[in-house]
Amino acid sequence: MKIHRLITGLLESNAYLLENETTGEGVLIDCGGDGALIISTARQLGISLRAILLTHGHADHIEGVDRVVKAFSCPVYLHAFDLELLSRPDYNLSTRIFGKPLSIAAHAVALQDGDTPEIAGFSPVVLHTPGHTQGSVCYRFKNALFTGDTLFRDSVGGEFPPFGNLQTEIDSIRSQLFSIGQDCVCYPGHGEQTSLFYEKQNNDYCRI
* 3-class DSSP assignment, residue 28: strand
What's residue 181's pLDDT?
85
Q: DSSP assignment, residue 119? A: B
Cα(12)–Cα(89) distance, integer angstroms: 20
b/e for 52-84, b at 16 or more Cβ within 10 A? bbbbbbbbbbbbbbbbbbebbebbbbbbebbbe
- Average pLDDT, integer, range 106-123: 97
Q: Where are the domains of the chain?
A: 2-113+124-202
pLDDT of residue 193: 98
Quote the pTM value. Answer: 0.96
Instruction: Quote the pLDDT of residue 72.
Output: 97
Q: Pairing state of beta strands 185-188 and 144-148?
A: parallel
Q: Is it the case that residue 208 has pLDDT exceeding 80?
A: no
Q: What is the mean pLDDT of residues 10-28?
A: 97
Residue 206: CB partners within 8 Å, gap ≥ 6?
Answer: 151, 156, 170, 173, 174, 178, 199
Q: According to the model, what pLDDT value does residue 160 have?
A: 83
CA 181 from chain centre, in angstroms, equals 22
What pLDDT is recorded for position 46?
Answer: 97
Q: Which CATH topology does 2-113+124-202 take? A: Metallo-beta-lactamase; Chain A (3.60.15)
